[in-house]
Amino acid sequence: MKDQQTALLRQQIEKLSQKKFDLNAWKKQTMMMLVSIFGEESQKVKEIGKLEYEYNSWSLRDNTGFNAYEEGCKKTGRAILEASISEIELADADIRAEKKAPAMDTGFVLDALQEELKGSQFKSLLKILKSDSIKDEKERKVAEILQELGPQTTVSILKSILMNEGFKTGLPD
């Protein structure tokens, strides 16, 4: 899908170099493509829609003025499409990276924690880990809970995690 989207946008960029360029037809085609990729409310669609030749008295008197406006529209259109292609490719790279990273089986970690912690401590720890708090704040709260446990309990939790078969199978070769 990503390859098709970028290919369509690259075709639109190529059309900007055609000898018989029609800005209005190009805009309509480009906007339809961008809407299908990014949605109707996309800023890219709005910016393409704003592209217009400027028909004022100065540009109408001088043919080079019209050419300058046309080149400005083409340059802006090209920049918008190139940014769109980059966004599609970056989003695709992020998705591939997420797929490559295997999800960690946390079951044995939770078992080790649940075995060594009191029920209220375990619930508090899970609540902190699932919260939307800032990372530094979470680390501080987790450290407080671990300090309350004392070194012997902390060692028991870590030993239980490290000795688990699930941990062993997740180790690199």
Phi and psi of 80, rounded to 5°? -65, -45
Q: What is the pLDDT of residues 139-167, one digit of tens each?
A: 999 898 888 888 898 899 999 888 888 77
Task: Read off the pLDDT of residues 81-92 as tens digits, 9 standing for 90 and up.
Answer: 999 898 888 886
- pLDDT of residue 78 exceeding 90: yes
- Average pLDDT of the chain is 82
Count of Cβ atoms closer than 10 Å to residue 1 Cβ = 8
Amino acid 57: pLDDT: 47
Half-sphere exposure of 136 (CA within 13 A, CB side): 0
82 or 107: whose pLDDT is higher?
82
Indicate the pLDDT class of residue 94, thresholds 50, 70 and 90.
Answer: low
Q: Taking a C-beta distance cutoff of 8 angstroms, is the pair 33, 8 a contact?
A: yes
Burial class (CB in 10 A: 0-12, 13-18, 19+), 53: middle
The pLDDT score that the predictor gives to residue 9 is: 92
Please write the tens of the pLDDT for every residue from 18-76.
Answer: 888 888 999 999 999 999 988 888 899 899 998 886 654 444 445 544 566 788 888 99
Instruction: Tell me how far apart the alpha carbons of residues 162 and 154 are, in angstroms, rounded to a whole number.
Output: 12
- pLDDT band, residue 108 (cuts 50/70/90): confident
Q: In whole angstroms, what separates CA 104 from the centre of its chain? A: 22
